[in-house]
Structure 1
């Protein structure tokens, strides 16, 4: 090539690259999400004598060491969480290498070529190098796609952890509540049996009205039949706990009756705006918006030329056996790469148009996720308020009937009343205790629903804030 031709080539390449760089800014902008978040909670609970509850350890408000241990074990061994961890690792690996598409690449190849006249054959070897610049927003779109996939995997992992913790706490509450109900129903059954014995004696003395013994026998049988429901509920809760902890059978220690979890002091943490940071469903929807924006950016870039640099080194060796010496020729070439869509340009434009609608749908889905999150928290807050009032009234009723039972015991001791009246009073008190146990469990479950809606769960170990000693905090393991 002459000096003039070489200069013209360099100027042409510089002009082409300059134009490409100037057009590189023609990328898709991220849409404004504008989340519909209210300023404050409508059903905010009155401030209690406690610091705001930590979203990463909210279940510790029950002050139950067995429950704390179960949550730790579940986070370490649950299979759904383990699957989400593996998917996150896969997304993280791909995200770390998303820029490799726009780095120089080198390929080695060999092939055999035969002349049409079959008088010679050649072994062709060489190297091909290419470097796509990722202009017109293509590289940016690829980065957004990879980051969106990573963010979605992180949100899915946290969603699995949130759901796991809530399910472990819920099933533990149901297990202990069912055991408490079984104890109370057994006591009612014993009192019913004692009533039946007393009425049989009165019937022999012809002091009981007709049918009284049959009514007492029916009540005793109904009390025995009522034991099936709590026993079945306790067994089902234990089985669900085993699955959550990655076990094939429940721990026998769970079958030993224990105290029903009681909710201690707590305080609602944060404001509605905190949902954008803590609720995994919202984070997942935001990641979908980012990924959709990346796909739109790539579709937009597909309508423009693909610009890059290419180079090749080729050696052709004559393998003709009729010659005493093989002949090898080499060739080196370097130049720009330019790929411009022509006849399929309309199809590419349609693909970009379709991706723009998908991005709009992702933004709407994000807004819907925010509204859904706010609604779930408000519903849980309202339910918690009602269940707190129900528990308070049930406690008052049980305490009143306990006083009545005490008074009846005194009257029976003084021979002023019949033992049958004492049995009726004790049954009424135990029925009130059953209602109190159910109210207490309902309030606790409403508390669980609230913190599940808030997105409360320990952070993964690699995302928890570092403690002063260098160990992660906020993680369960």
Structure 2
């Protein structure tokens, strides 16, 4: 008797064991690399001093949420806030997040709870009568109303894995929205700096064009007086024409930069704001540099890639659980009658109860192929996660290296501009005293304007690369909009 009882309980024990097994690969990706420092060289404590600022790299500091405020420009702050409110791409990301959140709620409702439906039916039917008994045909009405209940027992976790997959997709979209916000803020700052730099470069080049035309006129006058060769006159004219030819392209770039800024703010190009002077933007003196081991918990793109691994793991669980039996219960209770007056009487009560157990046997290899496809997708998602991690480290390494070199470039450009400016001032003083010819002052100012162009470009590069480093640092923990929906879903199990 004991042997028979143990034999009968064996299938139940096997089902319970299979239900407790993990049908999906690990949802957490393998531990990523943790480099000692980001770049090939160790991170310096500070950059070289340029324009009176030696940026300090605070290793181990937390990322700054509203880092653009460190540029100390109320106008720039207003532009970033305007873009975060009105940019259509960011608004689309918000609605996409709302859509996947509602899909998660729908998945929870369909997978974890029973379904209850109410139905009613009115029909008029014609049926054949029995031979030789009464009328050959019968025409009658049928009135029915009932409640239907259905529930699928999640024996092997297919429904739970589906909920986890939907929750992971919510997480991924949440992190993508956070990444879009930070990218938009960085793009607005970079576009503003580029518009300012191009406006100042255009002004300097227009002055250079005016000086080149003046120099060409002076050379032509000297040629007519026999004090210059014809070749000198032609060279001066060629130089003036070359500078003039570069102006239309520079004007177009300056306008395109303003148009790009307007679109980032959610405006039409005709409402593009006037560019700020570069001097109105203060270079942040301190830049937080998160240690590599903590960077991956702050970068929304890395967190989104990790959430994608969670979703891919859950897809494998769903595909695996679909290979095992499914148990469903259904029941209905209602009333039916041939006359409306008798519809809800005791005699018209109808009910049904049913249980069904389905074990897939042959589907042409479709279920196994779906599982193999889910596993391959999981492996691809793991590789994409690893690549995202490496890209994150590279972003920080590149921007740190660029900032250090930007400071050296600006330092040299400032020294050259200061020397050229002093030379221009000395030449102007000598000209006013009659000790230098006027063409010398024109040539001296040309050298100064060219040195200023180099300084403008170096200043803008330092401001832009600082914004890129802030973006590369990601969001401080707890600042992002994402929440761990998969943990909440696991708690509902």
Same fold, TM-score > 0.5, yes or no: yes
Equivalents in 2 of 1:274, 1:452: separation in Å?
Answer: 15
Give the 5 Å matches for 1:102-113: 102-111=112-121, 112=123
Aligned residue number for residue 349 of structure 1:
368
Equivalents in 1 of 2:93, 2:206: separation in Å?
Answer: 44
Aligned residue number for residue 30 of structure 1:
26
Distance 1:360 1:53, change over 3 A: closer
User: 1:73-122: CA deviations, max 9, x gaps?
Assistant: 11110000000000111112222343212212112334557656454754
User: 1:136-162: CA deviations, max 9, x gaps?
Assistant: 122320221111110121122122212
User: 1:388-440: CA deviations, max 9, x gaps?
Assistant: 22111111111122222233233333333222222212111110111111122
Match 2:97 to one of 79, 88, 101: 88
Q: SS in structure 1 opposite 2:117?
A: strand
Contact 2:298 2:477 in 1 (8 A): no
Aligned pair 1:363/2:387, yes or no?
no
Q: SS in structure 2 opposite 1:126?
A: strand
Contact 2:150 2:330 in 1 (8 A): yes
Aligned residue number for residue 473 of structure 1:
none
Distance 1:414 1:350, change over 3 A: same
Aligned residue number for residue 5 of structure 1:
none
Give the 5 Å matches for 1:173-192: 173-192=193-212
Aligned pair 1:232/2:227, yes or no?
no
Contact 1:318 1:328 in 2 (8 A): no
Equivalents in 1 of 2:158, 2:126: separation in Å?
Answer: 40
Aligned residue number for residue 396 of structure 1:
415
* Structure 2: unaligned runs, 5 residues or longer: 1-7, 47-54, 130-136, 484-493
Q: SS in structure 2 opposite 1:267?
A: strand
Match 1:66 to one of 53, 68, 75: 75
Match 1:436 to one of 455, 458, 462: 455
Equivalents in 2 of 1:256, 1:283: separation in Å?
Answer: 35
Equivalents in 2 of 1:29, 1:212: separation in Å?
Answer: 78
Distance 1:201 1:260, change over 3 A: farther
Aligned-pair Cα RMSD in Å:
3.4
Equivalents in 2 of 1:93, 1:37: separation in Å?
Answer: 37
Match 1:207 to one of 227, 242, 245: 227
Match 1:413 to one of 429, 432, 435: 432
Distance 1:141 1:53, change over 3 A: closer
Residue 214 (structure 1) shift: 3.3
Contact 2:63 2:473 in 1 (8 A): no
Aligned length: 449
Aligned residue number for residue 98 of structure 1:
107
Aligned residue number for residue 451 of structure 1:
470
Equivalents in 1 of 2:481, 2:383: separation in Å?
Answer: 31
Contact 2:186 2:471 in 1 (8 A): yes
Aligned residue number for residue 403 of structure 2:
384
Aligned residue number for residue 215 of structure 2:
195
* Structure 1: unaligned runs, 5 residues or longer: 1-12, 465-477
Equivalents in 1 of 2:62, 2:204: separation in Å?
Answer: 33
Q: SS in structure 2 opposite 1:375?
A: helix
Contact 1:401 1:429 in 2 (8 A): yes
Equivalents in 2 of 1:109, 1:141: separation in Å?
Answer: 31
Match 2:289 to one of 242, 265, 269: 269
Distance 1:327 1:261, change over 3 A: closer
Aligned residue number for residue 153 of structure 2:
133
Distance 1:18 1:307, change over 3 A: farther
